Structure 1
Amino acid sequence: MSLINVSNLTFAHEGSYDNIFENVSFQLDTSWKLGFTGRNGRGKTTFMNLLLGKYEYSGHISANVTFEYFPFRVEHPEYLTTDVVEEIYPDYQQWELVRELTLLQVSDDVLYRPFNTLSNGEQTKVLLAALFLKEDSFLLIDEPTNHLDMNARKLVSQYLNSKSGFILVSHDRTFLDHCVDHILSINRTNIEIQKGNFSDWWENKERQDQFELAENDKLKKDIKRLSEAAKRTNNWSHEVEKTKNGTRNSGSKVDKGYIGHKAAKMMKRSKSMEQRQQSAIEEKSTLLKNIESSDSLKLEQLVYHKPQLVELERVSVYYGDKQVCTDVSFTIEQGERIALSGRNGSGKSSLLKLIIGEELSYTGTFRKGSNLKISYVSQDTSHLRGNLTDYAREHGIDESLFKAILRKLDFSRIQFEKDISSFSGGQKKKVLIAKSLSEKAHLHIWDEPLNFIDVISRMQIEELLLEHSPTILFVEHDRAFCENIATKFVEL
């Protein structure tokens, strides 16, 4: 066991006026299984790059370990997998690699296939196995789940739970719950560490948020009451002070000493109230800084004239001579939220493309309602470019609603001025989701919409879907999201 000490860390990217980290201090134990969470753009990958020594910063990071980062850069994907692993770790022992692959349920024959012929899931598992061959290193694992289906995620989480000494960035709540024992969270104004898994951290955060909201309301009322009382007392003291130069109603002389004393006493009481009011204002200003909140939104969905939108009966889809799925049967009824699940390569994306109207070869019966308006979110974000205003205009959506959804998903107003091509992977996915939710459609079809999207935004997307209940068919490997959203499951 050793410690990683971070003290007074301050960092901003070159050319930026805003610090990503400012005077941040904390301590990590290298034996922890550490889940790393926070909104997109808050600096998770940046922090790992700082640990790797890639950027200059002010403050101190001290550690008696070497750091290894996942995913590795594969220079020659056309090489045999065993040679790819050797480039990453020249001194590895093959029996050790086979042991790790066995734990990940990967056959050792993949070692003698070109790396680029492996599935995305197999590539991820091989690189993870290579990572854990490096003993005496603290491992920085950045979003390993993006290319894993549900079964693979469960398997990899069990694998990671058997290890220790890593920071894991993942936005999948179920995955984190099964393989971490501490949470490092980048909040709006600070970084904090808590013992436990993601659910423990989220429960504590919600409890803290509720306490701060209640305390904020109480202080708001106290400030108003004290302000009014101080003003009233202040006015009284001035009125009493005026009577020093007058006479009593009975005509007798005024006791100026008594009245002056009474006025001073009232003034002192007024000042005391103002000080208490100021203290309440200062206490209030320390609250709500890390609450992730935003206004509710009104989304309009089109209502189709028939209850059934789509029907598939014993449908098989083909790419050339290759059959990608066989005898699939299900219907999409208005108001349903259908999770389409299955292993990678089982034909999920092909079925979605068939429904949205792409020219694919198929057998069986496929019916789609006439004039059915479909909003589609693809896995691919590489086509996104230009500013958000032009993007909204190009797609004929309400710009103010589009941007309001992005604000809810933690876009800053500065982000609205940037070119979309410069956005992070998670921010680009949020653009596609905000566009889809802004479109007036009978049916939404989303293909792995949550890749790279932070966990709090995932929860907010859940809230929007549950509140407005659009008809939606989606493919997503986040188990918690599927269980919270789906009204029906179709498994291939």
Structure 2
Amino acid sequence: MSLINISNLTFSYDSCYENIFQNASFQMDTNWKLGLIGRNGRGKTTLLKLLLGMYPYSGSISSNVSFEYFPYEIENKERDTLEIIEDMIPDLELWKLKRELSLLELPEEVLYRSFSTLSNGEQTKVLLAALFMKEEAFLLIDEPTNHLDLRGREIVGNYLNSKRGFILVSHDRFFLNQCTDHILSINKADIEIQKGNFSTWQLNKDRMDQFELAENEKLKKEIKNLTEASKRTAKWSDQVESTKNGSLLSGIKPDKGYIGHKAAKMMKRSKTIEARMEKSIEDKSKLLKNLETVESLAIKPVSYHKSKLAEAIDLFVVYDERKIMDPISFSVSAGDRIAIKGQNGSGKSSILKLILGEEIEYRGNYHTGSGLIISYVPQDTSFLQGDLRTFAREESIDESLFKAILRKLDFSRTQFDKDLREFSAGQKKKVLIAKSLCQEAHLYIWDEPLNYIDVISRMQIEELILQYRPTMIFVEHDRCFIRNIATAQITLTK
């Protein structure tokens, strides 16, 4: 066991107006299984890169361990996988590597294939197995689940749970619960570490938020009462002064001792009220700094003139005359929220494209209702470029509403002036979701919408869907999202 000490860490990018980190200090144990969470743009990946020494910073980061980053960058993916791993680990013991692959339910033959021929999920597993063989290293694992299906996430989650000595960035609540024992959260005002998994952290966070909200209300009332008391004291002071003047004018000699005593009492009372008010204001200023304001979103579903929007009977997708999935039958009725599940490559995206009206070769029967308006969120965000105003105009959506939704999804106003190409992966996904929320549609089709989206925003989106109950078909690998949202599930097999 050793410690990683971070003291007074301050960092900002040259292009940023504000610091990403400001005098942050905390300590990590290299024996922990540490989940790193925070809203998009808060600096999770930046923190990992600072630990790797990739950027200059002020403050100090001290430890006696080396750091390894996932995903590991492969220069030539056409080489055999084993050759690539041997470059990563010169003193490789093959039997140990095969043991790790077995734990990840990968066959040994992947080692003797070109790395480029491996699926994204297989590449993720191979690189994790290799990096965990560097036993003296502390691993910095940045969003490993993005290319994993539900089964893949379960396997990798179990694998990580059997290890220790890593920081894991993930927005998947089920996955974090599966394999972490501490949570490091980058909050609005500070950074904190708690023992336990994500559910423990969320429970504690909710309790603290409720306590601080109650304390805030109590202090607001107290400050209001003290302000009124201060005004009454000032009024009494004026009355004493007027009594003094009135006595002189009437020719009656005032009792200066009495008036002086009364004035002194009022002064003492005024000072006490002032001190209490300052203390209450100071206490109030310490509250709610880390309260995540999760404002409600809105969606614009449109009623369809028929109860059934689409139907498939014995449908399967064909690629190069080859059936890539077993036949399925389903219907989509108003209010349905259907999750399409299946291993990577089982045809999930192909089914969505078919519903969207794209040219997909298939067998069986499929039809959609006439005049069906669909709002679509694709997986890919690489096409995004230009500013938000131009994007809104090209997509024929209301710019003010579009930006208001992005603000609720934790975009800062400075973000609005940037080119979309400069956005983080999570921010690009939020742009596509915000666009979809601005569109009036009968059916919402979302293809892995939550990739890179932070946990708080995921819960916002869940609340939105449960409130407005739009008709949806979606592909998603977040178990919690599926459990909370789906009214029905279609599982593709092959």
Query: TM-score category by the smaller chain?
Result: over 0.9
**2:129 corresponds to:** 129
Residues 39 and 457 of structure 2 are in contact (CA less than 8 Å); yes or no, is this contact kept in structure 1? yes
The separation in 1 between residues aligned to 2:250 and 2:46, in whole angstroms, is 80
2:69 alignment counterpart = 69
Contact 1:238/1:263 (CA < 8 Å) preserved in 2? no
Query: Deviations for 1:430-458, whole angstroms, at most 9, x for unmatched residues?
Result: 00011111110010000011111111111
Q: Is the 8 A contact 1:72 1:88 kept in 2?
A: no
The match for 2:327 is 327
Match of 1:243 in 2: 243
Match in the other structure for 1:343: 343
Deviation of 1:295 after TM superposition, in Å, equals: 3.2
The answer for the alignment partner of 2:270 in structure 1 is: 270
Match of residue 14 from structure 2: 14
Partner of 1:81: 81
* Aligned residue type for 2:263: A
User: Partner residue of 2:482?
Assistant: 482
Q: Secondary structure at the match of 1:133?
A: coil
Amino acid of the structure 2 residue aligned with 1:226: L
1:56 aligns with 2:92: no
- Summarize deviations over 1:217-254 as a string: whole Å, max 9, x none: 11111111111110111111111111102139999543
Q: Are 2:283 and 1:283 aligned?
A: yes
Question: Where do 1:404-419 residues align within 5 Å?
Answer: 404-419=404-419
1:75-474 equivalences under 5 Å are 75-247=75-247, 253-474=253-474
Deviates more, 1:450-459 or 1:270-279: 270-279
Unpaired segments ≥5 residues, structure 1: none
Instruction: Give, in whole Å, the separation in 1 of the partners of 2:69 and 2:392.
Output: 37
Q: Are 1:157 and 1:178, in contact at CA under 8 Å, matched by a contact in 2?
A: yes
* Alpha-carbon separation, structure 2, partners of 1:333 and 1:77: 45
Q: Kindly state the Cα deviation for residue 311 of structure 1 after the two structures are TM-superposed.
A: 0.5
1:53 alignment partner, SS class: coil
Offset, 1:400: 2.0
Shift of 1:90: 2.4
- Name the CA distance, whole Å, in 2 between partners of 1:281 and 1:345: 59
Aligned equivalents of 2:285, 2:427: Cα separation in 1: 30
What is the root-mean-square deviation in Å for CA atoms of aligned residues? Answer: 1.5
Amino acid at match of 2:71: P
TM-score (norm 2): 0.97
Instruction: State the AA in 2 paired with 1:38.
Output: G
CA distance in 1, matches of 2:54, 2:242: 72
Fraction of identical pairs, as percent: 64
Task: Tell me how far apart the structure 1 counterparts of residues 404 and 475 of structure 2 sit (CA, whole Å).
Answer: 25
CA distance in 1, matches of 2:357, 2:251: 99
* Match runs of 1:30-45 below 5 Å: 30-45=30-45
Tell me if the contact between 1:313 and 1:330 (Cα under 8 Å) persists in the aligned partners.
yes
* Residue identity matched to 1:467: Q
Kept after mapping to 1: 8 A contact 2:296/2:460: no
- In structure 2, give the amino acid aligned to 1:399: E
Query: Secondary structure in 1 aligned to 2:444?
Result: strand
CA distance in 2, matches of 1:295, 1:243: 55
Please tell me whether the aligned partners of residues 317 and 325 of structure 1 are also in contact (alpha carbons under 8 angstroms): yes
Q: CA deviation at 1:490?
A: 1.2
- CA-CA distance at 1:270 after TM superposition: 2.3
Q: Kindly report structure 1 stretches of 4+ aligned residues shifted beyond 6 Å.
A: 248-251
Q: Distance in 2 between matches of 1:282 and 1:485?
A: 42
CA distance in 1, matches of 2:433, 2:275: 49
3-state SS of paired residue (1:445): strand
Name the stretch that deviates more: 192-201 or 271-280.
271-280
Inter-CA distance 15–351: structure 2 relative to 1 (3 Å threshold): closer
- Within 1, Cα distance between the matches of 2:470 and 2:273? 53
Per-residue deviation at 1:389?
1.6
Amino acid aligned to 2:18: D
CA positional deviation for 1:357: 0.8
Q: Residues 162 and 253 from structure 1, CA distance in 2 versus in 1: closer, same or farther, beyond 3 angstroms? A: same
SS at 1:27's partner residue?
A: strand
| Residues 443-487 of structure 1: CA deviation (Å, up to 9, x unaligned) | 000001111111111111111111111111100000011101111
Output the CA distance in 2 between the equivalents of 1:300 and 1:474.
17
Letter in 2 for 1:489: Q
Q: Which moved more, 1:443-452 or 1:252-261?
A: 252-261
1:398-431 Cα shifts (integer Å, max 9, x gaps): 2222112211211111111111110000000000
Range moving further from structure 2, 195-204 or 80-89:
80-89
Where does structure 2 lack aligned partners over 5 or more consecutive residues? none
Name the CA distance, whole Å, in 1 between partners of 2:122 and 2:294.
40
Q: Secondary structure at the match of 1:145?
A: helix
Which stretch shows the higher mean deviation, 391-400 or 252-261?
252-261
